[in-house]
Amino acid sequence: MADRKDDTKSSAPTKRDRIIRTVATSTAIETGESTRKIEERLRSRKGRFKDLTLA
């Protein structure tokens, strides 16, 4: 039989997770704020534009 990938979620970050991490890291460098805090804020979707989604 051919090798198949499991249907379970892999440990690799999703595209959205990578974008959030990139934005948080860049913002942290510019502002001096903790990357973790920025990531939490981005993930919470409680900001002004909570109805918008990432591309």
- All residues at 6 or more sequence positions from 26 whose CB lies less than 8 Å from its CB, including other chains: none
pLDDT at 26 (0 to 100): 97
Q: Is the pTM of this model over 0.75?
A: no
Average pLDDT over residues 39-50: 81
**CA dist., res. 17 & res. 28, Å (int):** 16
pLDDT at 40 over 80: yes
Residue 3 pLDDT greater than 90, yes or no: no
Average pLDDT of the segment spanning 20-39? 96
Rounded to whole angstroms, the Cα distance separating 35 from 19 reads 13
